[in-house]
Structure 1
């Protein structure tokens, strides 16, 4: 129910500044009468141009530098080209910088989503109501006299995730989308990896959404460009604020399975037919990886591209590399430019090396067609071997650090690029068990190779998860290299009985030098980097290897069910193994044109 006072669509403010015509707080009326607010940055001459649009909850008037200071400082330090050729006065978290797009002949529209920033209403994140709002905003932008009628969507994370949702509705003016590091399957990609609840969304809601809710007054600060209150001109009471937002954490706890709650917050693949550039992060294992790859494979569009990169979550989007990639794509589909975009490979990979450098390579499909699916078998001696070992088993406390299986030193360089999987034969002393799988790589000196992930600076090579009671597969959607679980019911274990578990391990990319070792760690809790932690100002928890994507809800993992002993069974009867996507030497020599 909408309990906020609905704002009036009064005249908005217009100014000419920094080579742009800027319209602050433009009203957009939704189909139910509520008025959302947008900032519009466009060329001064009023000529019709294509539109880059975003709709989300991070407050269009909150400067990137103010709201996310540690992220801003890291981007300026590590990627200085991200902030050059701009005054950076209009930078906003996870959306395009208009000073780089307007001179190139685009209008940039930023909409405060319902209930946040300067838009009144009830916050119900990723809901059907939000998606309908987004649809209405696209159609509004496409019909403006300064628009050429073609709208593109571009942005990071939240601004990527909701692109999939609204594209499923096929707004007539929507011409192309570029989701940059954003989940697409709300259950599997973010809420409950492998069926195990992530507490990320609870903490994120507190830190990044409630802090910019419409009606919090001076607490939300003022836009330095306009002097306006960032979160609206009304001051609502604590009771009114609480009544104007869902209890997102409680909603997530209440929906244990992949039900309608998650479906309406996920892409509908068969309905997405417009051009797509899906950009994912090798280090985005908690939220910013699986959705981009899965979307590329399953979207119905015949004009779709996948780009995979490394580095932190936000900076590459703003760099010369990121802006050039996005502009070439949108120039083709929003301007009709014959710029050779469609001659590019369908899959554009940044191949990662152990020194955190990258080399570009194109592929025709995902997974790369030349992939050699390679098994390594677990043994009771804690080795990963080429042949099936003798029968045995290994047990560990079910909530502990588990056990690790390791290859001998590699006798040649090996490239592992693509999705991974594991088949484990497991028994539990209780009626359930959570398995956390971590693929690790060690140098000859024994140091673990970790990378700057999407958020955590010490991200391991790959991770996967599965709740044993969610082991049932969907045969129509499963592949040997990418198991797919329906997550629609619980099938408790019989204590002591052995069960076959197929576990999805999210894609990775790494050229592993000779002399290094590959390991599979089977754990009962989240990976923890054995070194110093880190911190970002917009997150509650320290970053200890998994970033904010932790599975530490005691209610979801109650004592007596998940704190027993887990046993991995091994041998000819129980051939537990890891599946690695090995790229042959001949393919590794190629580079993207």
Structure 2
């Protein structure tokens, strides 16, 4: 069934369901009302809400005790609506970083109701909001098939939004809030245009399911298996061995125990699905929103090292803002500055507050430099004053620079699974800022019929040491990273720009060993970096995951990186689909006249 037909059927079902809510029992039968321990806050736990197919999902509702009509903030995810973040083993490192960064966090709140990647109701309810946390289908106390980001899951989210808009304590306006998973599904739900949805605030959430989650540059990302095994499956409904404990009664949060066989039947492992769907198509289209249907006001908060601007660029909302920051996966979301930002946004769109939010610059970016960070604003993304600058590679002397004159045709080879090649600029004679998307044009050949390209951009200080940055999932990341499987090199020029090449990912076209090919490599995220006077930029190119060499002064933190990988970030390519006979050959980069390879950088005039 096509997406359009599915959408209209879903809208009809939602309309019928909404009518039932309006004419029938508006208030649900509550499973249990718990003493919240917070003055002025009512806590209703495990409230059953019936979905369009008759399955009842469970939600927790936190609302002001004083009667009234309040806007709703909602999150839905698979991590456990009943488990405190500080009690879940998988989140111990995240919790430790959060408390180290904000030691007074649990003085402003008991943190009893703080959930991984979700808003703290103790902070929002006193501000006049209802907060709803939902266990997604198949997770926690919600029964059914556990199938992350599936059309069924997003149908459920849209149903919950409309249900919340019709409750007697609701103002009729619903906003979505949350980071990562709880940001990704915001984009999806918004595209359904459910009744009652008034604003979304996706914080660090991917948009394109194929290109930003499953495959980077056509290369499978099996790092998600760790996420699935350690964060999602433990909270599966019916998991009798779950370590997650209810914050109220200390019991398991996953309901009545099911057999191992039934548990397996009730879940769909994403990595298995990706392996069986190697090309972009219906499976991914159902999980990637139609940006033209996202029309609600939105504030997209992105990170320089992880999911970033795709949703903001795709959305058709007339009222939309983009904020790109640096920092780890979790702590920025819970800062005082971030809470104030979130509150101003929602107060404006859910409470009609005249607080000046509509005068906020559309784009705010946190620029990184060796001396710290600073913010600057703009009206557009990429920044309107961006000067796209090519740094041409020279294989003869392993340098790169803005001048291509006099570069003779030459090439250099490397073992694909070895250390690869590194190209360096000369030392900069003044401070220069680069902020925006990064791209790489290469002319390459391989001794085999395929080739993987892993590119990394580095900032090098006058002593030759690399300056790293705090990444979403690692404390030491390079300035940017790019990926491409050369057999997936095809480009759709209509969907491409001068700084981004859209790879349709519809088929594999093997290389002819020894033949040269022109390819375009997208960097996974935009970058922002000030290169001070006396510093250099370096570009590394190799055929395996980028890792800091043993001789580097940088020691990856066990608290951040995946336990089976020493490369920075939440991507690694070590997987059986990487046949050494195919991806372990000899690779060659060609440069110079007739085969100009270059790094495209976003030169940005500094305005701080």
1:263 aligns with 2:269: no
1:445-489 CA distances to partner (integer Å, 9 max, x unpaired)? 111111110011111100110111111111111111111111111
Is the partner of 1:211 in helix, strand or coil?
A: helix
How much does 1:69 deviate? 1.6
1:5 maps to none
8 Å contact from structure 2 (residues 64, 126) kept in 1: yes
1:513 aligns with 2:532: yes
Query: What is the RMSD computed on CA atoms of the aligned residues?
Result: 1.6
Count of aligned residue pairs for this structure pair: 570
8 Å contact from structure 1 (residues 420, 580) kept in 2: yes
8 Å contact from structure 1 (residues 430, 494) kept in 2: yes
Structure 2: distance between partners of 1:304 and 1:577: 34
1:307 maps to 323
8 Å contact from structure 1 (residues 456, 544) kept in 2: no
Is the partner of 2:581 in helix, strand or coil?
A: coil
How much does 1:25 deviate? 0.7
Determine which of 17, 32, 37 is the counterpart of 1:17.
37
1:206 aligns with 2:229: yes
1:337 maps to 353
2:377 maps to 362
Structure 2: distance between partners of 1:475 and 1:567: 26
8 Å contact from structure 2 (residues 137, 146) kept in 1: yes
Structure 1: distance between partners of 2:340 and 2:419: 43
Determine which of 383, 386, 397 is the counterpart of 1:371.
386
Is the partner of 2:231 in helix, strand or coil?
A: helix
1:416-462 CA distances to partner (integer Å, 9 max, x unpaired)? 10001111011111111010110111000111111110011111100
1:232-278 CA distances to partner (integer Å, 9 max, x unpaired)? 1x111111111111132211111111111111111211110111111
Determine which of 591, 595, 600 is the counterpart of 1:570.
591
Is the partner of 2:593 in helix, strand or coil?
A: coil
1:411 maps to 429
Is the partner of 2:467 in helix, strand or coil?
A: coil
1:95 aligns with 2:110: no
How much does 1:564 deviate? 1.1
Check 1:419–1:83 CA distance in 2 against 1; reply closer, same or farther (3 A cut).
Answer: farther
Is the partner of 2:153 in helix, strand or coil?
A: helix
Is the partner of 2:229 in helix, strand or coil?
A: helix
Determine which of 429, 447, 450 is the counterpart of 1:432.
450
Determine which of 263, 270, 279 is the counterpart of 1:248.
270
Is the partner of 2:442 in helix, strand or coil?
A: strand
Structure 1: distance between partners of 2:505 and 2:541: 21
TM-score (norm 2): 0.91
1:528 maps to 547
Determine which of 310, 313, 320 is the counterpart of 1:297.
313
Determine which of 344, 359, 374 is the counterpart of 1:328.
344
Check 1:81–1:370 CA distance in 2 against 1; reply closer, same or farther (3 A cut).
Answer: farther
Unaligned runs of 5+ in 2: 1-27
1:402 aligns with 2:420: yes
8 Å contact from structure 2 (residues 87, 244) kept in 1: no
Matches within 5 A, 1:450-469: 450-469=468-487
Determine which of 196, 213, 223 is the counterpart of 1:190.
213
Structure 2: distance between partners of 1:193 and 1:330: 33
1:553 aligns with 2:553: no
8 Å contact from structure 2 (residues 228, 269) kept in 1: no
Is the partner of 1:560 in helix, strand or coil?
A: helix
Structure 1: distance between partners of 2:469 and 2:225: 26
Is the partner of 2:71 in helix, strand or coil?
A: strand
Is the partner of 1:80 in helix, strand or coil?
A: coil
How much does 1:83 deviate? 4.0
Check 1:459–1:84 CA distance in 2 against 1; reply closer, same or farther (3 A cut).
Answer: farther
1:165 aligns with 2:185: no
1:269-294 CA distances to partner (integer Å, 9 max, x unpaired)? 1110111111011122xxx33xxx11
How much does 1:360 deviate? 1.5
Structure 2: distance between partners of 1:382 and 1:84: 54
1:332-387 CA distances to partner (integer Å, 9 max, x unpaired)? 111111111111111011111213x2211111100001011111110021001222
Determine which of 135, 146, 156 is the counterpart of 1:133.
156
Structure 2: distance between partners of 1:424 and 1:11: 61
Structure 2: distance between partners of 1:84 and 1:192: 42
Matches within 5 A, 1:57-68: 57-67=78-88, 68=91
Is the partner of 1:466 in helix, strand or coil?
A: strand
Structure 2: distance between partners of 1:575 and 1:540: 37
How much does 1:491 deviate? 1.1
How much does 1:87 deviate? 1.1
2:147 maps to 124
Structure 2: distance between partners of 1:395 and 1:9: 69
Is the partner of 2:437 in helix, strand or coil?
A: strand
Structure 2: distance between partners of 1:543 and 1:275: 39
2:3 maps to none
Is the partner of 1:366 in helix, strand or coil?
A: coil
How much does 1:81 deviate? 5.2
Structure 2: distance between partners of 1:41 and 1:441: 47
1:277 maps to 299
Is the partner of 1:295 in helix, strand or coil?
A: helix
2:102 maps to 79
Is the partner of 1:476 in helix, strand or coil?
A: helix
Is the partner of 2:527 in helix, strand or coil?
A: strand
Determine which of 415, 421, 445 is the counterpart of 2:463.
445
Check 1:83–1:30 CA distance in 2 against 1; reply closer, same or farther (3 A cut).
Answer: same
8 Å contact from structure 2 (residues 411, 591) kept in 1: yes
